[in-house]
């Protein structure tokens, strides 16, 4: 597990951008954290690191946004899901095991519908510190353990 602290939204995005260096087709990143914690900023950093041009927004109402970069980037937002079974209706497995990187905001709402091997990222606000964030990166599976080790080598608190 890796713990990172950031003190500005752009630093949170920077962690996502650095993570993108190690991503490849079929990778799944699951973001969790309270409203306003910085999940979308992190996702924007990942998109920037994957070479996505243009503005990346949270797909709260569309549920899935697709972007072109060095590899396809699929940005999902499960905030509005009412039950985990809905992800089957969305065809998420095609994304999870497809030819791009899938990033899911509010992933905890998917229940057991997520791949067993993935990278879980939890972003928390630090009580009493409006701009300070704690990012916990937890690998699930050998591929992601190696990714976290690579990320440790390039990211520092305050990046």
Which residues sit opposite 119 in a β-bridge? 29, 139
Is residue 157 situated within a structural domain?
Answer: no
**Does the residue 102 lie in any domain?**
yes
Separation CA 77–CA 61 (nearest Å)? 8
Query: Which residue range(s) make up the domain with 141?
Result: 2-151
- Residue bearing the bigger pLDDT, 98 or 120: 120
Averaged pLDDT, 76-101: 82
- Domain contains 101: yes
Banded model confidence at residue 55, pLDDT cuts 50, 70, 90: confident
Beta strand pairing status for 73-77 and 2-6? unpaired
What CATH number did the domain enclosing 74 receive?
Answer: 3.40.50.300
Residue 159 falls within a domain, yes or no? no
**Taking the chain, what is the end-to-end CA distance rounded to the nearest angstrom?**
18
Global model pTM greater than 0.85:
yes
Decide if 119 contacts 142 (C-beta within 8 A). Answer: no
Q: Does any domain span residue 9? A: yes
Residue 135 lies in a domain: yes
Whether the per-residue pLDDT at 158 is higher than 70: the answer is: no
Centroid of chain to Cα 159: 17
**How many separate domains does the chain show?**
1
Please state, as a whole number, how many other Cβ atoms lie within 10 Å of the Cβ of residue 96. 20
Tens of pLDDT, residues 5-51 = 999 999 999 999 999 999 999 999 999 999 989 999 999 999 999 99
């Amino acid at each position: 597990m890796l713990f990172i602290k950031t003190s500005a939204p752009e630093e949170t995005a920077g962690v996502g951008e650095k993570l993108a260096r190690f991503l490849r087709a079929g990778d799944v990143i699951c973001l969790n954290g309270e409203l306003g914690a910085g999940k979308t900023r992190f996702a924007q950093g990942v998109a920037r690191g994957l070479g996505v041009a243009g503005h990346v927004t949270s797909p709260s109402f569309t549920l899935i946004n697709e972007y072109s970069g060095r590899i396809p980037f699929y940005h999902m937002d499960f905030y509005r899901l009412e039950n985990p079974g809905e992800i089957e209706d969305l065809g998420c497995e095609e994304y999870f095991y497809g030819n791009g990187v899938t990033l899911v905001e509010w992933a905890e709402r998917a229940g057991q519908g997520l791949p067993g091997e993935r990278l879980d990222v939890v972003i928390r606000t630090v009580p009493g510190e409006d701009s300070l964030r704690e990012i916990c990166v937890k690998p699930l599976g050998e591929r992601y353990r190696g990714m976290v080790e690579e990320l440790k080598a390039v990211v520092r608190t305050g990046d």
